[in-house]
Amino acid sequence: QDGDPIELGIPVFLSGAASGPFGLPQQNGATVLIEALNAGEVPAPYDQVGINGRQVEATYVDEAADPVQEYRNLVERDEVDAVVGYTSSGNCKAVAPLAEELQQLTVLVDCGTPQIFESVVTDPTYLFRTGPTGTIDSVGAVRYLMDTGVDMSRVAGINQNYAWGQDAWADFTGSLEALETGSDITTEQFPQVFAGQYGAEVSALLTSGANAIHTSFWGGDLEAFILQAAPRGLFQRSAVVMTTGEAAMQRLPDEIPEGAIIGARGPYSYFAPDTELANWFRETYEAEYGNPPSYPAWKMAQAILGLKAAWEKADSDDPAEIAAAFENLEFETPAGTVRMAIGNGHQAIQGIAYGTYALDDEGNPTVENVISYNAECVNPPADQTAAEWIEAGFPGADCE
Amino acid sequence: MSDPILVTENLEKRFGGVVAASEISLSLYPGETLAVIGSNGAGKTTFVNMVTGYLKPSSGTIRFRGRDITGSSPRKTAQAGIRRSFQISQIFPQLTVLENVMIAEIAAADGKGGLRRAALTDARMQTGRAVLDRFGLGQHSDTAVGTLPQGIKKQLDIAMAAINDPALILLDEPTSGVSSDEKIEMMERVIAPLKADDATLLFIEHDMDIVTRFAERTVAFYEGKILADGPTREVLSEDDVRKYVIGGVHA
Amino acid sequence: MLKFTAIMLDGMNYAAWLFLVAVGLTLIYGVMRILNIAHGAFYAIGAYVCASALGVFYAAGLPGALAFAVMGVVALIAGVIVGLVVERGVLRFLYGRDEVLMVLVTYALFLILEDAVKLIWGVESYFVYQPYAYFGFVEIGGLPYQVYDLMIVALAIVMGIALWFWLERSRMGRMTTAVVADREISAAMGINVTRIFATTFAIGTVFAVIGGVVTAPKIAVTPGIGVEVIILAFAVVVIGGLGSIPGAAIGAIFAGYARAMSVHLAPAYELFAIYAVMAVVLAIRPHGLFARASGRKI
Amino acid sequence: MLETRKLESSIAGTQILRGADLVLAPGRTVGLIGRNGAGKTTFMRSVMGLLRPDGGEILIDGTDMTREPAHTRAAMGVGYMPEDRRLIPEFTVEQNILLPLNALGEDIDRSRLDWIYELMPEIGRFADRRALALSGGQQKLVALGRALIVGRKLLLLDEPFEGVAPALAQRLIEVIGVLRGEGLSVLLSESDHVHSADLVDGLYVIERGEIEKKAAETA
Amino acid sequence: MMKTDFRREPLYIAILAVLLIVGFFLPSWLRFLLQTALAGGLVALGVALQMRAGLVNFGQGLYYALGGYAVGMLAAQAGITDIFILLIAAVLVSTVAGIVLGLLLSRYREIFYAMLSLAVSMILYGLLVKAAWLGSTDGFNIPPVSYLGWTPDRAVRPDIYYVTTAVLTVIACLATARYLTSGAGMLCEAVAENEIRLEYLGASPRKVAFIVIVVASALSGLGGGLLAMSTGHVDPLMTNWTTSGGFVFVALLAGRGSTIAPVIGFFLLELVRTYALDLAPNAWQMILGLVMLAVILLLPEGLWSLIERRRKA
Ligand SMILES: Nc1ncnc2c1ncn2[C@@H]1O[C@H](COP(=O)(O)OP(=O)(O)OP(=O)(O)O)[C@@H](O)[C@H]1O
Ligand SMILES: Nc1ncnc2c1ncn2[C@@H]1O[C@H](COP(=O)(O)OP(=O)(O)OP(=O)(O)O)[C@@H](O)[C@H]1O
Ligand SMILES: CC(C)C[C@H](N)C(=O)O
Ligand SMILES: [Mg+2]
Ligand SMILES: [Mg+2]
């Protein structure tokens, strides 16, 4: 047992519109990290070879296929030691109860819905999420708009017509109310996910006369939206905040208008702290793939490192012991310290940062006017759900 | 003479500018066998289509057994006891000959049967086979109908029309496409059992030998109107009928 | 008023795009009785080919206006090649098979082509946004509108009329109608059915590819872009009446305006506006708006 | 004009034609007689190339056409009238008749069309009606007209008199008689030679896919 | 061609029973696959039934989703977890929908039937996606069910689900086989082949079509309910056209030889899919497509024809 490699099952989008902007960087991020871990080349505190001394092997499966069946196959057929993955909230919700039922160590990577530990699995043992919930994106966005003095008298939103977009918009408008911005909502657009054509929606936004526009679009949809909205001058007319905008920066450096407000769903990538671990990750990734990692890659690395930290803390191969060690764990990542602070100690909290898009002197994309909000400012406390917390006006938020 | 079973009064059918049939007043009496002849496009099929509800007359009325059935659907007329065969045979091509007949039996019972019990009873199978034998189709019973030659399809079409003892049966060119030497035999097969049941039979026909041989009465159509109506011999010898329908040679 | 302008323009714009894709589908169905799901893959191939070709083109630093010529040429070449390969390579062995089965065949082709695209172009997105911005925008009633979008409308109108003229007026078109009605007898009357089929399929494919080519500059060219397109195109074709070119135009306009109106007036229902229109049209006219005449059966 | 040698055809795996031999000399009219299912239609379809023969040869006007696709027949002046009419429903009567010429890209020969209308005034009268509404017999006439317009050398008529009113059938017989005079070769099938008795120069009988010569051609 | 005689059907069902026993020797992931295939197979069977009548339903997912959501909403929101009540509700809800839609849809044929049913199912999809209280696109999870008050323990739960699913599937297949021998069932094929003839024989093609639509909706509702319990999750994708397309595909591939053919077909397809996914995560659709093409080209009568052929030989 001891000498055997640890098998990780890694579901990421290998097909469909999410595969390019999300699946690929996630797979790449996992690959470089695992390679470095096996070679013992990761800086401290992760300089122990592999995970707890054992080599790590990864099996990538397509998240776009039937998630429940694929999850079962990983667990029951391939008998992996842990599952690390999932980008879509829908898939996370579908596999979450299964993780508990099959008693399988599972780390969710990027999905955003707060429901996972609020209602889907309220008494988790084996299920963890090392990425923060989507709540931070919306709360942070409103705070950023306020703090930078954007006129928020007329606000519009464009979000994908599914849970992610709906929740993001609900949290955003909830935060507007909680912070008493007195905004009028001029239009709320919910185009179908992966629609690709937003001519009419852009017209609606243009004609709505909004000063500020919120969008949680991600992947190809966000990119298409930028391509269609920017030439028509939407970004000149309104302040547009794109909560996942960072994932598009490398890809559309010349098309994102300067001044657009960009988020990365956490302190990743351009918003990451200047630590040895962060720089190591950025450089190693870039050396391997020719471009810096976008935030999905950071999040994948964060998940694997979290698992490693818990495993080594438990110093045992027993899933129950690893899970126990993972609970309420505090661990270092390229994006700073992560605390498994809510969801009974199974859900990470992290801060959020926003900035405005700019090209530096060499013409490389970067962000300016960055404001960071710490974890306690944008996350609900452990005893409250996100919705309750926003509704109640962020009680206990610590924004210093 | 008893009351007519079918009465049409001043039936007219127009398709846009085309008058396919007009002033069609006909009475059919129970048990009689009637031939309809006429040039191509004279309105023969249109007449049958109106009686069986496929076409709604532009004006005029149709009564069957004293009841007004003008404009009622093919299904209603079928249930009332009117059956027909078609100029272009209407069959279930992918099914076998026996299956075709079984469908006909089941369909005839559809109003009563529905979902409750197995439709394919041994009794029905026997009736089905009997029907096929009667129409000389027994040897084909397990052949898919679509692969049969036209003539056989035609016979099957008629066999299906004859199922469930209709009171009035209308055959549209039953013998066209059937080999000449079989035409008479086929007509005999069709007519004998119907006569035994005292059914009324109308058939459209271009072959005057068949008309002479099987019809007591003949109606000749021309350009949508009735040109002549009477005992077969008389009708066939009328000048206009000879001129427009039969042509010089036949007597 | 501004809203009205926006609805008019957006509806027209969306209709034009839908028409370009749907018209090829209706043509192929009309002539060959194949409901071609692979049409969506053709659309995607169009987008990728455009992205690649323009990528090379811009890398070579050629003058921007030429890009449009490049787009036209690659659409034609790619459409004809892909169309002929699929028709000659697969479909012709299956002519005469059940209509539903043919749907599955094209579904299988769709799956194969989708992955082929991934194997060729990878899963990374491609961007060729230059043509979209090339002409800039004009203000129409206070609403900035891309000239490129207006050009797509013009393109759809021109291509639609050309196709319709070809079908209605030309000898080839007349023969196509005959083949639609009866393959076998058409052959007996001297029509080269094989050629008609190949030509039709290639033309239909070219339309799908054009749809993809003109869309590429507006989107992130990504795996999976062909999936939604195909079902929308189906809806358009069914609303209009399968196999009818004017039907596809009307269907596209219905669908385009249904969507534009819901976006501007009731954004919550955007997702199924088109299906609702389709259901209503079919409920009222079971065979779509332009149903084809069928022969006398009895 | 037409010759088949040991022609074999099958449908869906069942052999229908078993070595059918038939010779039709130029300018002759020959009857192909057989009962239902004997294979008349199958024979005609094979000659037309609508059914790919399993074996044997088909020669039209001296050319081996066995493997040639169906559409090449029309260009050689072969007209075909199928037994089940097969008109194009949305075309008018005239468009249906002209279809073969259209297909060949030939100029419309107005005089030949007029000649057809003269032969069958019935169809002249409804030349611009759509074919979908015609009665069975009317369709038959149109199908015959369509065969005539292109069949300058050879006509294949599959049961041309079925469903045609006797008066008209007689006229058609006369017409075919005239064609013979004009040098056309005609092969017509019937289930019995009632109609064609005085018309044909020779007679073939087909039974279970085998063809037997019954009456010698006089030439 | 129609299999006129369905009295051989019990034989096939015996085959299925054997399959069930085998189920206990399968590794659990494979058995779970089989279990979902059983549930999905019922929907495919519903599609196949309609195909007999020439009706291709590209929106069968509608009933599947209704069955699933009925179970889900009762269990997760109303707190009713008794399996019998849940499944009865699933069948009831989908059957009522089948009756209502059947009144409209039974007038439609061919591609128009396919497209109208697709449109209706996509409207439901649109509504479910909008319904935030039903979890929108994510759908929601379903708590474990109980059996007349007894909630099995985690360890035996999968076994009991499997047995329940299998038994109910067998019963449904049997009932379907029965239906096919009834008048309404026997006439389906006649509707597909020649409605004019059928009308003239005195039967109502519309009624035949209506009944088959309703029967199929009931089967699909049951399938949806069973699947919802198996996976413990429902989401709007159940009524997306892609899901329905999959059912059509299975129905066609399976062939129409037996009422269990779709169930087996579904299982095989899932197997191919799982292995393709494993073998070539980036090209699994291509493998699936190639397998589809191969089956269509080599087995025109569907997979069941393999069994038929063997029997004849
Ligand atoms: N699709 C098919 N599959 C199998 N056998 C077929 C098929 N079509 C026709 N046949 C058979 O081929 C034989 C010849 O048919 P054909 O139509 O050539 O006869 P025919 O002489 O023209 O008859 P008819 O006088 O009825 O028109 C028939 O026995 C028929 O059963
Ligand atoms: N649906 C229709 N639309 C337009 N005209 C029609 C329609 N049905 C029939 N007609 C016309 O009505 C006339 C009568 O047709 P009908 O079919 O009754 O003739 P028929 O006497 O049966 O001829 P045949 O002996 O050739 O079968 C024909 O001129 C035909 O073209
Ligand atoms: C930004 C996205 C990766 C979020 C993801 N789609 C979700 O549903 O949570
Ligand atoms: Mg008639
Ligand atoms: Mg024949």
Instruction: Give E144-168 pLDDT, tens digit per residue.
Output: 888 888 888 877 888 888 888 888 8
pLDDT at B86: 92
pLDDT tens by residue, C106-158 = 989 999 999 999 899 988 888 888 899 888 889 888 888 999 999 999 999 99
Atom of ligand 1 nearest to the CA of D206: 21
Q: How far apart are CA E261 and CA E5, in angstroms?
A: 16
What confidence tier does B251 reach under pLDDT thresholds 50, 70, 90? very low
Nearest CA to ligand 2 atom 6: D133
For residue D16 and ligand 1, the question of a CB distance below 6 A is answered with yes
The pLDDT of residue B204 is above 80: yes
Chain A interface disruption, residue of E133, E136, E156, E273, most A CBs within 10 A: E136
Q: Please, what is the average pLDDT of chain A? A: 92
In the reported structure, the alpha carbon of residue A397 is separated from the centroid of ligand 3 by a whole-number distance in angstroms of: 25
pLDDT at D126: 85
Containing domain of residue B12, as a range? Answer: 1-81+167-251
What confidence tier does B157 reach under pLDDT thresholds 50, 70, 90? very high
Ligand nearest to the CA of B206: 2
Judged by CB atoms closer than 8 Å, whether chains meet at E296 and C108 is answered as yes
Chains D and B touch (3+ CB pairs under 8 A): yes
B120 with B54, same domain: the answer is no
For residue B56 and ligand 2, the question of a CB distance below 6 A is answered with no
Q: From chain B, which residues contact E within 8 Å (Cβ)?
A: 52, 54, 73-75, 78-79, 83-84, 90-96, 98-99, 102-104, 106-111, 113-120, 144, 160-161, 163-164
Judged by CB atoms closer than 8 Å, whether chains meet at E2 and B94 is answered as yes
Query: Is any Cβ of chain C less than 8 angstroms from the Cβ of A255?
Result: yes
B3 with B39, same domain: the answer is yes
pLDDT at E313: 42
3 state SS of E173: helix
pLDDT at A219: 86
pLDDT at B116: 61
Judged by CB atoms closer than 8 Å, whether chains meet at C10 and A223 is answered as no
Q: How far apart are CA D127 and CA D114, in angstroms?
A: 11
pLDDT tens by residue, C77-103 = 999 999 999 999 989 888 878 777 888
What confidence tier does E2 reach under pLDDT thresholds 50, 70, 90? very low
Percent of chain E with pLDDT over 70: 90
For residue D139 and ligand 2, the question of a CB distance below 6 A is answered with no
Q: Could you give the ipTM of this predicted complex?
A: 0.87
pLDDT at E5: 44
Which residues, other chains included, contact D32 with Cβ-Cβ below 8 Å and sequence gap of 6+? D22, D40, D43, D44, D187, D188, D189, D190, D204, D205, D206, D211
For residue A167 and ligand 3, the question of a CB distance below 6 A is answered with no
> Using a CB-CB distance cutoff of 8 angstroms, which residues of chain D are in contact with residue C291?
none
The pLDDT of residue E204 is above 60: yes
Q: How far apart are CA B188 and CA B194, in angstroms?
A: 10
In the reported structure, the alpha carbon of residue B149 is separated from the centroid of ligand 5 by a whole-number distance in angstroms of: 6
Q: Lowest-pLDDT range, A359-368, C96-105, C136-145, D50-59?
A: C96-105
In the reported structure, the alpha carbon of residue B175 is separated from the centroid of ligand 1 by a whole-number distance in angstroms of: 17
Shortest distance between the Cα of B97 and any Cα of chain E, in A, equals 11
3 state SS of C192: coil
B114 with B220, same domain: the answer is no
Average pLDDT of the residues in C239-259: 91
pLDDT at E309: 56
Judged by CB atoms closer than 8 Å, whether chains meet at C187 and D146 is answered as no
pLDDT at E4: 41
Judged by CB atoms closer than 8 Å, whether chains meet at E137 and A193 is answered as yes
Percent of chain A with pLDDT over 90: 79
B141 with B61, same domain: the answer is no
Containing domain of residue D171, as a range? Answer: 2-215
Query: Cβ–Cβ contacts within 10 Å for residue E253, how many?
Result: 24
What confidence tier does E7 reach under pLDDT thresholds 50, 70, 90? very low
Atom of ligand 3 nearest to the CA of E138: 8
The pLDDT of residue D196 is above 80: no
Judged by CB atoms closer than 8 Å, whether chains meet at A93 and E141 is answered as yes
B63 with B126, same domain: the answer is no
Shortest distance between the Cα of C18 and any Cα of chain A, in A, equals 11
φ, ψ for residue D22, nearest 5 deg: -155, 140
Judged by CB atoms closer than 8 Å, whether chains meet at A89 and E136 is answered as no
Query: Is any Cβ of chain C less than 8 angstroms from the Cβ of A371?
Result: no
Nearest CA to ligand 2 atom 27: D136
The CATH number covering residue B4 comes to 3.40.50.300
Shortest distance between the Cα of A167 and any Cα of chain E, in A, equals 9
pLDDT at D215: 64
For residue A223 and ligand 3, the question of a CB distance below 6 A is answered with no
The pLDDT of residue D219 is above 50: no
Judged by CB atoms closer than 8 Å, whether chains meet at E122 and C272 is answered as yes
Shortest distance between the Cα of B250 and any Cα of chain C, in A, equals 29
Q: Which residue has the higher pLDDT, D215 or B216?
A: B216
Q: Which residue has the higher pLDDT, C296 or B98?
A: B98
**Which residues between 205 and 224 in chain A have a beta carbon less than 8 angstroms from any beta carbon of chain C?**
206-207, 219-220, 223-224
What confidence tier does A225 reach under pLDDT thresholds 50, 70, 90? very high
Q: Which residue has the higher pLDDT, E65 or D127?
A: E65
The CATH number covering residue D50 comes to 3.40.50.300
pLDDT at E170: 84
pLDDT tens by residue, D85-98 = 889 888 899 999 99
Q: Lowest-pLDDT range, A1-5, B36-40, C52-56, E183-187?
A: A1-5
B151 with B216, same domain: the answer is no
What confidence tier does C161 reach under pLDDT thresholds 50, 70, 90? very high
Average pLDDT of the residues in A224-245: 94
Query: Where is A261: in which H helix or E strand?
Result: strand A261-263
pLDDT tens by residue, A208-221 = 999 999 999 998 89
Query: Is any Cβ of chain A less than 8 angstroms from the Cβ of C215?
Result: yes
What confidence tier does E3 reach under pLDDT thresholds 50, 70, 90? very low
The pLDDT of residue A185 is above 90: yes
Contact (CB, 8 A) for A147 and A371: yes
pLDDT tens by residue, E30-42 = 888 888 998 999 9
Q: How many helices (H) and strands (E) does chain D have?
A: 7, 10
Which residues, other chains included, contact A358 with Cβ-Cβ below 8 Å and sequence gap of 6+? A258, A259, A365, A366, A367, A368
Average pLDDT of the residues in D148-167: 89
Burial of A361 (0-12, 13-18, 19+ CB in 10 A): exposed
Q: Which residue has the higher pLDDT, E44 or C298?
A: E44
3 state SS of A255: coil
Chain B interface disruption, residue of D35, D44, D135, most B CBs within 10 A: D135
Q: How far apart are CA B107 and CA B246, in angstroms?
A: 39
Judged by CB atoms closer than 8 Å, whether chains meet at B149 and D36 is answered as yes
Query: How many CA atoms lie less than 13 Å away from C45 in the CB half-sphere?
Result: 31
> Using a CB-CB distance cutoff of 8 angstroms, which residues of chain D are in contact with residue B41?
122, 134-135, 137-138
Total number of domains in chain D = 1
What confidence tier does E6 reach under pLDDT thresholds 50, 70, 90? very low
Ligand nearest to the CA of A26: 3
Q: Lowest-pLDDT range, A281-285, B67-71, D134-138?
A: D134-138
Judged by CB atoms closer than 8 Å, whether chains meet at E182 and B116 is answered as yes
The pTM (predicted TM-score) of the whole model is: 0.89
Judged by CB atoms closer than 8 Å, whether chains meet at B75 and E203 is answered as yes
Atom of ligand 3 nearest to the CA of A296: 3
Percent of chain A with pLDDT over 70: 99
Total number of domains in chain B = 2
pLDDT tens by residue, E84-127 = 999 999 999 999 999 999 999 999 988 889 889 998 999 999 89
User: What is the token pair recorded at E22?
Assistant: 């085998």
Q: From chain C, which residues contact E within 8 Å (Cβ)?
A: 35, 90, 93-94, 97, 99-101, 103-105, 107-112, 114-116, 118-119, 123, 227, 231, 234-235, 238, 242, 268-269, 271-272, 275-276, 278-279, 282-283, 286-288, 297-298
Chain E interface disruption, residue of B77, B90, B91, most E CBs within 10 A: B90
The pLDDT of residue D206 is above 50: yes
For residue B170 and ligand 2, the question of a CB distance below 6 A is answered with no
Average pLDDT of the residues in D145-169: 89
Query: Is any Cβ of chain D less than 8 angstroms from the Cβ of C96?
Result: no
B63 with B143, same domain: the answer is no
Chains that touch D (3 or more CB pairs under 8 A): B, C
